């Protein structure tokens, strides 16, 4: 019995000592963290939030989405501070179009115990509030980069072709159209279809819908080329004949690579005299050109041919 009672007294004494040691250790640690350390000054980027914005008004100026708050306190405490806990809330209930000023100071924040606000930058937030308007505007498709060599962009369409734009009146009323995000031109010729977001270009704008489907085609670049004084002859004719005039002027169009390589000779431009009898004839020129090549202009349209002897 005495042994059991002695063991109980020893256990209680041991737990009491452990508790006293733990309490002393905690107090010492707190004093080290909060008193023993030299205060430091740390910057924090505190977000700015707008609340109760009237439906017909919106913030029209930029650069007011955050402020810098410099806090002074023990480093161990500062390291636990979350910038979101320093959030600046601006109540715009009842605001009307025009300018509004909000002043910030230490009383605008609630830092942890042992920490104080040293400075707020900027200390004044000037808001420009504008009336909200909604307009239906056409979509302009933007491209970036250059098409593949010898190609250009054709048949560009956006679906839908118009979108609803909501934003500050002074911005929206100046707009003639809404640009897409730039589309990178890549690959070779062919038909393309892409879904692209619309670009607000840093302005406080919203779109409905906020993206469109763009279809376009990369085609070989069209060009024109002139051929002056091309000699006109009969092809596969062994008789005797004369031609007036003896040359033709041609202006052709088509894909640039094909047009650049095109050579004009008796196989491409000629008179067909087969089965014609001796005498005078008025003939059109025969042309044998690639299917992609079109004749824009020809001078003259017809030629006077005199056959003096038939083919042998």
Predicted pLDDT at 6 = 55
Q: What is the Cα–Cα distance from 43 to 50, expressed in whole angstroms?
A: 22
Burial (CB count <10 Å: 0-12, 13-18, 19+), residue 214: buried
Q: How far is residue 184's CA from residue 101's CA, in Å, rounded to a whole number?
A: 43
Instruction: Return the pLDDT at 173.
Output: 93
d(CA 284, CA 281): 10
The tokens for 153 are: 């962009």
CA-nearest of 235, 252, 254, 253 to 243 is 235
What domains, with CATH codes, occur in the chain?
A: 40-122 (2.170.120.30), 132-220 (2.170.120.40), 222-309 (2.170.120.30)
In the numeric block, the tokens 């963290």 are attached to 33
CB-CB contact of 245 with 280 (8 Å):
no
Strand bridging mode 211-220 / 151-159 = antiparallel
pTM: 0.53
Condensed to tens digits (0 to 9), the pLDDT of residues 216-241 reads 988 778 889 999 999 999 988 889 99
Comparing CA positions, the residue from 290, 143, 152 lying closest to residue 221 is: 152
DSSP for 133-179 reads EEEEEEEE--EES-PSTTEEEEEEEEESSEEEEEEEHHHHTT-S-EE
For the stretch 234-264, pLDDT in tens is: 988 889 999 999 999 999 999 888 898 999 9
Give the H/E segment covering residue 259.
helix 256-261
Reduce the DSSP state of residue 125 to 3 states and report it: strand
The residues of the chain scoring below 50 in pLDDT are 5, 8, 12, 27, 31
């Amino acid at each position: 019995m005495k042994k059991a009672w002695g063991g109980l007294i020893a256990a209680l004494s041991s737990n009491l000592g452990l508790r006293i040691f733990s309490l002393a250790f905690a107090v010492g640690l707190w004093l080290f963290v909060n008193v023993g350390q030299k205060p430091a000054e740390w910057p924090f980027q505190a977000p700015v939030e707008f609340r109760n914005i009237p439906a017909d008004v919106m913030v029209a100026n930029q650069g007011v989405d955050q402020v810098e708050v410099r806090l002074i306190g023990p480093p161990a405490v500062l390291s636990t501070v979350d910038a979101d806990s320093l959030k600046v809330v601006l109540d715009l209930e009842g605001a009307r179009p025009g300018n509004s000023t909000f002043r910030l100071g230490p009383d605008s924040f609630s830092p942890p115990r042992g920490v104080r606000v040293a400075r707020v930058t900027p200390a004044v937030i000037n808001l420009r509030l504008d009336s909200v308007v909604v307009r239906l505007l056409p979509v302009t498709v933007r491209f970036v980069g250059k098409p593949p060599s010898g190609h250009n962009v054709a048949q560009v369409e956006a679906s839908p072709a118009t979108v609803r734009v909501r934003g500050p009146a002074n911005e929206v009323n100046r707009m003639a159209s809404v640009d897409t995000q730039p589309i990178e031109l890549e690959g070779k010729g062919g038909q393309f279809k892409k879904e692209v977001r619309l670009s607000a270009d840093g302005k406080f704008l919203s779109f409905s819908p906020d993206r469109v489907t763009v279809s376009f085609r990369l085609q070989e670049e069209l060009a024109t080329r002139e051929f002056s004084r091309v000699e006109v002859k009969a092809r596969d004719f062994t008789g005797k004949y004369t031609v007036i005039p003896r040359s033709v002027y041609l202006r052709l169009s088509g894909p640039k690579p094909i047009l650049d390589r095109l050579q004009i000779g008796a196989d491409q431009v000629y008179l067909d005299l087969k089965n014609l009898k001796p005498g005078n004839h008025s003939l059109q020129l025969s042309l044998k050109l690639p299917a992609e090549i079109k004749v824009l202009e020809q001078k003259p349209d017809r030629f006077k041919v005199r056959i003096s002897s038939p083919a042998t």
